[in-house]
């Protein structure tokens, strides 16, 4: 793996070539330990067994009454009975925790499928990404040897305070819900603390985000993934000393010692190049470069944990949606493609995905508690790619969005509801880009139809 504090002096050409060759010769895929045995011992503790039984009953009742998936209430009640339920249920499993501002849910699903190529794996597929959601996911099968769990950035330290995951995946950090979470420096410090509590965990991290580099650089075991940085506004300064770094896509080294590490995996236009220099094609059903990046993280996790490469590639190639993201759903009597964008970084990716098309486009923005009440981030998004298209807008903050589009030179029509916007679309399959609560509500409506 790479040394993030290696000397930045230029070496002679022959020595540099030998160094690269030596690195390639030394790297190899080392199969992980054998699949953990079934976890019969996890429920031998009577208190844990009681907690699991109560949690499962509560989750099942929630589903039967149509109150939700049970992904939170079951885990919450289990924790109230057994506060150590998370560590008890994780014991003996190989657990992968996936965190970052964007892409957690999709990457977690890809990781889960990668692991299932070798053995059963549980996952918090509903996106309940705090401790109660983790417990609820682990309760679904105490025999599954693997777990792939999405975790909120500020809750990873609580997880590593209870047990050491086998792998932690660090995707990215960008501004999101500032009125609830705070600035990125707070999140980066929390992630760094979380990893310090888990010295035996292997980290697979994004080398193109200086905030992630800072969080993982001091850890003893890191695999670095390079997929490029499209949203750069949160990656201009050193997370540790504040010095200006400039373009994070180039090699950089801060005066404080933090530097951009060499990549072990590099994402390309069609796949990914591994540490052995060999290119793997990623024939994904999930669209866009961002999902090649997510899939590369999943591939790196699978190989680290001993999965067969071809089996992993086959499993992740079949995924066409993640908890409704990128999926085709039926709303207001017509097919639409539903996309999630919750902050400037993810809006940039989704706008890139729909640019150059003439499909009808509906943008939906709310500002409820789970979104963050502040929508000033709309002014950080570059909407120029939508010029020349008529865009339909809806949601609680449709007027704020319409004002922003007007200043970007984008024509738009304001509607009181998504159904009203879709009613004026005469042909084509619309793309609906919605932020968190808007997406959640639309997807829930689809599920009931």
Catalytic residues: 374
Asked whether residue 412 is marked as a ligand-binding residue, the answer is no
Asked whether residue 238 is marked as a ligand-binding residue, the answer is yes
Radius of gyration of the CA atoms of the chain, in A = 22
Residue tagged 């201009």 (tokens): 236
Distance of alpha carbon 409 from alpha carbon 398, whole angstroms: 16
Per the CB < 8 A criterion, the answer to whether 215 and 191 are in contact is yes
Strands lying side by side in the sheet with 222-226 = 121-123, 146-150, 94-99, 167-170, 202-206, 222-226, 265-267, 271-273, 279-281
Q: How many CB atoms lie within 10 A of CB 170?
A: 28
Distance of alpha carbon 189 from alpha carbon 168, whole angstroms: 16
Angle at 141 between CA 136 and CA 147, to 5 degrees: 75
φ and ψ at 222, to 5 degrees? -135, 135
Per DSSP, 65 falls in state: T
φ and ψ at 418, to 5 degrees? -60, -40
CA distances to 9, 117, 262 from 1, rounded to whole Å, are 19, 25, 9
Distance of alpha carbon 56 from alpha carbon 75, whole angstroms: 8
Residue 333 gets the label, from left (phi > 0), alpha (psi -120 to 50) or beta, of left
Interacting residues of 92 by C-beta distance below 8 A, sequence separation 6+: 36, 37, 39, 41, 42, 145
As beta bridge partners, residue 17 has none
- Comparing C-alpha atoms, which of 125, 68, 73, 116 is closest to residue 98? 125
Per the CB < 8 A criterion, the answer to whether 365 and 405 are in contact is no
Annotated binding site for Zn(2+): 238, 241, 254, 256
């Amino acid at each position: 793996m790479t040394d993030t504090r290696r000397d930045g002096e230029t070496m002679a050409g022959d020595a540099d070539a030998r160094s690269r060759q030596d690195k390639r010769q030394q790297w190899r895929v080392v199969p992980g330990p054998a699949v953990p045995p079934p976890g019969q011992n996890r429920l031998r503790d009577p208190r844990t067994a009681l907690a699991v039984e109560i949690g499962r009953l509560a989750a099942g009742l929630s589903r039967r009454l149509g109150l939700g998936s049970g992904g939170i209430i079951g885990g919450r009640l289990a924790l109230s009975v057994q506060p150590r339920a998370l560590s008890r249920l994780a014991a003996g499993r190989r657990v992968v925790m996936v965190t970052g501002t964007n892409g957690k849910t999709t990457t977690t699903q890809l990781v889960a499928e990668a692991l299932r190529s070798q053995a059963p794996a549980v996952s918090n597929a509903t996106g309940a990404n705090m401790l109660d959601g983790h417990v609820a996911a682990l309760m679904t099968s105490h025999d599954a040897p693997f777990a792939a769990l999405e975790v909120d950035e500020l809750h990873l330290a609580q997880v590593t305070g209870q047990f050491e995951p086998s792998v932690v995946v660090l995707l990215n950090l960008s501004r999101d819900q500032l009125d609830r979470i705070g600035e990125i420096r707070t999140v980066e410090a929390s992630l760094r603390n979380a990893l310090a509590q888990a010295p035996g965990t292997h980290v697979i991290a994004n080398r193109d985000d200086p905030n992630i580099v800072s969080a993982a650089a001091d850890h003893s075991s890191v695999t670095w993934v390079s997929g490029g940085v499209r949203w750069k506004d949160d990656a201009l300064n050193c997370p540790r000393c504040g010095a200006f770094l400039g373009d994070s896509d180039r090699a950089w080294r801060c005066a404080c010692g933090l530097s951009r590490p060499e990549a072990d995996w590099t994402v390309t236009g069609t796949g990914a190049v591994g540490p052995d220099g060999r290119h793997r094609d990623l024939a994904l059903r999930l669209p866009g470069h961002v999902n090649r990046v997510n899939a590369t993280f999943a591939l790196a996790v699978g190989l680290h944990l001993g999965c067969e490469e071809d089996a992993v590639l086959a499993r992740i190639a079949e995924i066409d949606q993640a908890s409704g993201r990128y999926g085709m759903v039926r709303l207001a009597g017509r097919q639409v493609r539903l996309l999630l964008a919750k902050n400037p970084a993810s809006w940039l990716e989704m706008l890139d995905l729909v640019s150059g098309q003439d499909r009808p486009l509906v943008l939906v923005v709310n500002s409820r508690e789970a979104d963050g009440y502040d929508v000033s981030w709309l002014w950080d998004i570059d909407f120029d790619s939508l010029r020349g298209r008529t865009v339909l807008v809806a949601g609680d903050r449709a007027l704020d969005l319409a004002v922003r589009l007007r200043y970007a030179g984008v024509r738009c029509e304001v509607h009181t509801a998504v159904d009203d916007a879709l009613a004026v679309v005469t042909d084509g399959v619309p793309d609906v880009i919605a932020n968190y609560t808007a997406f959640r509500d639309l997807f829930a409506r689809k599920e009931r139809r």
